[in-house]
Amino acid sequence: MKFAAPVTLSLLLTACSGGADRSAATEATNLQVVYNGPDIAAAVAKLPDGQLRGVLFRAVRDAGLPCQDVTQIQRFPDERGVKNWRVECDGRSQQLVEIRKDGNANVLSRPQR
């Protein structure tokens, strides 16, 4: 079972619309937000190992996935200012955690075999 839990502005805007005005919600989700703030993904990548594990643990848990302990992390190459890690929880489940420049995180769960 694959599970993606993106934290995005468009999702929040749509959820806040209350459904009363669908055209306004649709229009809001089509906005492209330009982020000009600090590179949070780069700051996360520079964290000491213990703090990095804590950030990745929090991203997995905030995505609603079970994780009691991050047992292994592996960093993947950067693309478009996005930082990616493979996170193994409790020695079993694996997630791909993507942290964007603006600090938003996407978590994709890999099914257990």
What pLDDT, in 10s, does the model give residues 30-57? 555 676 788 888 899 999 999 999 999 9
Q: Is 76 helix (H, G, I), strand (E, B) or coil?
A: strand
What pLDDT, in 10s, does the model give residues 59-73? 999 999 888 999 999
Look at the alpha carbons of 34, 39, 40, 45 in this order and tell me if their dihedral is positive or negative. Answer: positive
Do the beta carbons of residue 51 and residue 61 sit within 8 Å? Answer: no
